[in-house]
Structure 1
């Protein structure tokens, strides 16, 4: 079957077959005549070789830098090919590593040698679908969902866990994360699952976690969480919490228990804010949580609202504020870096360090998609054994239910969402390394907005990496083909 896209070498662009057919119709030529005249090359955007070919034949991005010491634009600019993580100065001079970069490379090499990650598998278990909150931007808010009953009997839970064991028996580390709805509504089920997991997987390295809105803690469940070292991630938006139903941090009795969890769990206690029209400032989020906890708490990815419907669209970061959001984030990260501030960004800053490390790697590394739906070692499963592409889409009636855990694994319907490799603008996007194409399920009418929002989320982190790579120079502008217009 003929490729849908072709590469036109005269202007170094990729066009669709339909585009060429339009030219043929207007000029009274055949499609083959137009192809021959333009000397086109057939392109398969799923082929790594073709993607590399496109990257070699498209103009690299030009990054203009600013020298803060002299307050002038730097004399040289960087050229950057995102897909291959290739940097070179515009005059052809290689980008040499600095002392800071050498330290990053040494630290990562040391961790790889002495602390290599074990083979692992993660099970995201949907313990129930009910929720006591009605967050305005919830992925599930805009659809018609049937909260079917799940079998919570001991017999069914044991059956499920033994099946999960059979799938993961060759793995060293097994992660279990309890999801909802609001999973704390199903506390008895979580207790039962935890006790059974510790028995059935007793020879494995077990990691337990729970994602919660933080409103349902009691002395009993708090002590159980601490005793079993369950990682707690509280979804709280800081100064933007008004987008959620209520604020559990305003309840003094509840906060005593949250403080207790924070003190005992330490790095296994995390806050996960979402940025919306109510707040999209990293600085305000960090100051808000510091005022409450009197220390910097480990934070999640701090992502913008993903728009999947009209109601959620109204809660997004305004489009005319996306660039403001990106610039303010870059400035905050620079301040945190220069002040040596531990601002809770361990997870994200680790990604910046890995980016820098890979810039100096001497081999090509193809990116995996960032979505767990494409990861063969991550399963989202409910108590009935139904499998889902994502914990945000968990109704059996939806297209996201792709099988059942009790079926032969070879019969599982493969998860094949649209990835960055299918989009030429993604392959040449400067933040490809961090974004990996974004959520593959948000491909409807709002994909363009979601893409711009996540471009602005990751651009400051790319800019921070470039500042480190160039020993303190600041990113002033990025120019190139296929760039997002903001």
Structure 2
């Protein structure tokens, strides 16, 4: 028997149909058990490995990194309202003298060239005196590695832009578009900084090496407005927007900007409308998660292959500081403690075989995740949050993923889900706020469907 029964509207006739969806084997069938989608040719499918199930009791080890994330420190020249690092304990600051020892250590634990090296802060450009010699040494040692950095953009200038371009960096500027005033200071309000950001955009965007990274919150809910903002800013109808998901509640700031109980349905309607009308098609969290979810059904991707959304539960994804401390992720420090009581310092590169990730909780170890219809899109929210902040983050993530789930099923079947039945939270079953009465064709007509159902 299928795990979920989905009541879906045929937009051409407004009749209601029932679909069966199983989040464990990614099957989408009709009542007779026949698949509703054209499956991929089995000859091109590959057997997906089982993802590691990490927890405090079953810690994950680390190996030579494919993805290397270097934390330069958590200092920042801004103080954004929902920053995940705002209340994280700070280490001693790194400095240029740390670079030589770090570089000398690499051959002992980096056994093959990393595919990607990411430079993180705080605001990483606060550490430019350390970042310059470090990046130049790493580029010389690993000439093929992809370099990336995320910055608030406030410290960019012509000289720095040239350096970032010469070293082959991909750069993301964190900015929430029309909602930036809620997040914190706006670098675009300063003309020289605005010019520097746009100069870097013109340098890197044609090569696919630039994005604006925006986040949603309860005061900045419209992806279409965000996309329109950056299109107007750059004059580029193909501007790419990284991230674009709803904020996690890492602290009281993130909690205050989380959705409240009376806002879930209106946010989902807005988000689905933006997706359906093609007004959020250049936002990574929509485009990439939609493609992944659709392909999970076309390939019958098993839930056992799902890791955490951030990817830091993979053995070859490593976050380190310049002292060699291995961290849960780049947003914490060696002095900070996870909500489960374990240190975010999970080891040191001098003894990589002893590193143990005890701060993560795999989605399968949480009560609600295995029973959730949007599991393949959400992937368990933040892997180290616990308690009320995780629950608030879960609420945000569910409402964020549900319009993508709905749009993906419409893409595959032509039918628009409006209600989901299954063994999960009752308050999450009504997708758009329609089903305060039984979902029937008569009920749909009595309470007009809030999303345009004509072809777009």
Alignment TM class, shorter chain as reference: 0.7 to 0.9
Q: Distance in 1 between matches of 2:310 and 2:358?
A: 11
Distance 2:255 2:402 in 1: 22
When normalised by structure 2's length, the TM-score is 0.81
Mark the CA change 1:290 to 1:166 in structure 2 (over 3 Å): closer, same or farther. Answer: same
2:138 is aligned to 197
1:426 Cα deviation from its structure 2 partner? 0.9
Deviation string, structure 1 residues 360-411 (Cα, Å, up to 9, x no partner): 33674621222333111111111111111022211424321111222x2111
Counterpart for residue 121 of structure 1: 66
Where is the helix percentage greater, Structure 1 or Structure 2?
1
Q: Match for residue 348 of structure 2?
A: 404
Is 1:93 matched with 2:34? Answer: yes
Which of 340, 351, 354 matches 2:289?
351
Are 1:80 and 2:25 counterparts? no
Cα RMSD of the aligned pairs, angstroms, is: 2.6
212-221 vs 410-419, which moves further: 410-419
Which residue number in structure 2 is paired with residue 290 of structure 1?
231
Q: Which residue among 376, 384, 389 is the counterpart of 2:323?
A: 384
Q: Deviations over 1:102-133 (max 9, x none)?
A: 7xx79x979x9xxxxxx971111111321110
Tell me the equivalent position of 2:260: 318
**Aligned match for 2:185, one of 241, 246, 265:** 246
**Count of aligned residue pairs for this structure pair:** 402
Post-superposition CA distance 1:182-241 (Å, at most 9, x none): 111111211111110122224xx2111111111111111011111122111111111111
For residues 350 and 445 of structure 1, the distance between their equivalents in structure 2, rounded to whole angstroms, comes to 29
SS state at 1:381 partner = strand
CA distance in 1, matches of 2:284, 2:18: 30
User: Which secondary structure does the structure 2 equivalent of 1:62 belong to?
Assistant: strand
Q: Kindly report which structure 2 residues correspond to 1:131-150, keeping only aligned pairs within 5 A, or say none.
A: 131-142=76-87, 145-150=89-94
Q: CA deviation at 1:311?
A: 4.1
- 2:396 pairs with 1:453: yes
| Structure with the greater alpha carbon radius of gyration | 1
Q: Does 1:273 align with 2:218?
A: no
The reply on whether 1:152 has 2:96 as its aligned counterpart is: yes
1:5 equivalent in structure 2: none
Q: Gaps (5+ residues) in structure 2?
A: 49-63, 338-342, 429-456
Counterpart secondary structure, 1:254: helix
SS in 2 for 1:379: strand
TM-score normalized by the length of structure 1: 0.77
Contact preservation (8 Å) 1:280, 1:317: no
Question: Where do residues 462-481 of structure 1 align in structure 2 (5 Å cutoff)?
Answer: 462-470=405-413, 472-481=414-423
Partners in 1 of 2:45 and 2:267 — Cα distance? 34
Q: Indicate conservation of the 8 Å contact 1:81/1:428, yes or no.
A: no
SS of alignment partner, residue 292 of structure 1: helix
> Retained in 2: the 8 A contact 1:83–1:432?
no
Please tell me whether the aligned partners of residues 173 and 212 of structure 2 are also in contact (alpha carbons under 8 angstroms).
Answer: yes
Q: Distance in 2 between matches of 1:364 and 1:275?
A: 29
Please, which runs of 5 or more residues in structure 1 have no aligned partner? 1-55, 113-118
CA contact 2:227–2:280 (8 Å) conserved in 1: no
Contact 1:452 1:484 in 2 (8 A): no
CA contact (8 A) 1:297 1:344 kept: yes
Give the distance between the partners of 1:94 and 1:312, measured in 2 at CA. 40
Question: 1:417-468: CA deviations, max 9, x gaps?
Answer: 2221113421121110111111122112222221111001111111111011
2:164 is matched with which residue?
Answer: 225
Please say if residues 239 and 278 of structure 1, whose CA atoms lie closer than 8 Å, have aligned partners that are also in contact: no
Q: Is the CA contact (8 Å cut-off) linking 2:23 and 2:376 kept in structure 1?
A: yes
CA distance in 2, matches of 1:293, 1:248: 15
In the alignment, which residue of structure 1 is the partner of 2:274? 332
